[in-house]
Structures are given as structure tokens and as C-alpha cells.
A and B are shown apart, each in its own frame.
Chain A
Amino acid sequence: DTEVTQTPKHLVMGMTNKKSLKCEQHMGHRAMYWYKQKAKKPPELMFVYSYEKLSINESVPSRFSPECPNSSLLNLHLHALQPEDSALYLCASSQSSRRTEQFFGPGTRLTVL
């Protein structure tokens, strides 16, 4: 199984809503990542989890809250988002965080109204 799955595929939320994005992998990877991608731009790293511990936070606003319940799951909790947070949110995983290929999920298309 070489797949990273993400749910939901699409999400529309208001600025006062609380929602969560979910990511799952069953490849035994010990590093997981959240990226944000705006239209016609490259993916931008948000968070890195290594062995279920947060190892990198790229100065992401606190309205984005990551969580890694176990080595296969990664969540991104969203609260009080702004319209400019609308983007494609990508999850990725890799065998470890050291020099290995990252495999991406299909993404969640988020629209904040």
C-alpha cells in the first residue's frame, strides 16, 4: 500500500467554524507533513511530525493546529480561518524525515467564506 489518503476532498467553511482535515498512511512511514498550496504556486511546508512529535512549525498561525494521534494518522484542526486561507492542503509522508522521498495525498480543497 503506497497511498496517502486525505478526507474530506472538499471543504467549505465560514470564518467562525471549527473543522478538521484528516490524513492517513499505512506505509509504516515515521514522518508526516502538512503543506499548503495556492493556485499556480508551489507547495509550502506548514508542519513536520517525526515519530509522532512535532519537529517543524513554519511559523504557522495558531488558527491551524496539527495533531498526530498515532504513526498512521495526522490531523489539522482549523478554527477562525480567514478567506486568504483558502487553498489546497496537502498531506505527505516519508520513511523518515532524513533525506527520503515524500509521498503526497490528493489534498483537501478548502474554501473559507
Chain B
Amino acid sequence: DQQVKQNSPSLSVQEGRISILNCDYTNSMFDYFLWYKKYPAEGPTFLISISSIKDKNEDGRFTVFLNKSAKHLSLHIVPSQPGDSAVYFCAAGSSSNTGKLIFGQGTTLQVKP
């Protein structure tokens, strides 16, 4: 049972445009969410997080939106740059299950120059 889903395995975007990566979850107990970027042969790099008490969090070019009623979150990257090309994982955690993050399957983003 996949509790965190990223339904788009890949996404291709032109440089300078917006990239939107989506993530859905099923477990209502999740109360914080994170996005990670991963290059091949490297560990995941933390990008941005959001608590369930918020619906938006912004950090530079990265904005995460959370829609609790739809159990959906998205990561917006504006403007997209070729260096953003990587695999993006969303992850979810619950304060009642401390330390355990559940990751989605990942979305490969390609930003074309």
C-alpha cells in the first residue's frame, strides 16, 4: 500500500518556465511533508518542507503548496534552470511516528536549455 504517490515518473520543462511536481498521500496522520532533490550517485538533498498547519511555504525559487482536504501537495520551481534537472522525491511524516519518513517513487525532472 503506497501511502505517498508521485504519479508522474518524469517531467520535461523549458528553461525559465515553471516546473510543477505533484504528490498525493493517503494517510491522514501525516502532518509534515518534505521535498528532496537527488542527483545520480548522491544522497538526497533537502529542499523545502511544510507543516500541516500551513498551506504554503516559499524559499527562493521553490514553493510548496499543501491541500489537506485533497491530500495533495505540489512543488513549484520558478524559474526552472538546467541545474534543477534531477529526481525529486516528496516525503511525509507523522509526529506520532517519530523519525519515519515515507517517500514517494520520485519524479525525474529535465529542464531543457
Give residues in A with beta carbon < 8 Å to B: 4, 6, 31, 33, 40-45, 48, 50, 55-56, 88, 90, 92, 94, 97-99, 101-107, 109
- Which one of B61-69, B71-79, B96-104 contacts A? B96-104
B27: Cβ under 8 A from any A Cβ: no
B100 and A48 form a contact (CB under 8 A): yes
C-alpha spacing A92/B101, complex, angstroms: 11
B1: Cβ under 8 A from any A Cβ: no
Query: What distance in Å separates the Cβ of B61 from its nearest Cβ neighbour in chain A?
Result: 18
A103 and B104 form a contact (CB under 8 A): no
A42 and B106 form a contact (CB under 8 A): yes
Which of the residues A6, A41, A101, A106 comes within 8 Å of B34, measured between beta carbons?
A101
Query: What distance in Å separates the Cβ of B28 from its nearest Cβ neighbour in chain A?
Result: 16
CB-nearest residue of chain A relative to B104?
A: A42
Query: What distance in Å separates the Cβ of B42 from its nearest Cβ neighbour in chain A?
Result: 6
A42 and B98 form a contact (CB under 8 A): no
Collect the chain A residues with CB atoms within 8 Å of residue B42's CB.
106-107
Having A40-B106, A44-B103, A99-B95, one finds 12 other A-B pairs with CB under 8 Å, namely A45-B100, A50-B99, A56-B99, A99-B98, A102-B46, A103-B46, A104-B36, A104-B44, A105-B43, A107-B42, A107-B43, A109-B41
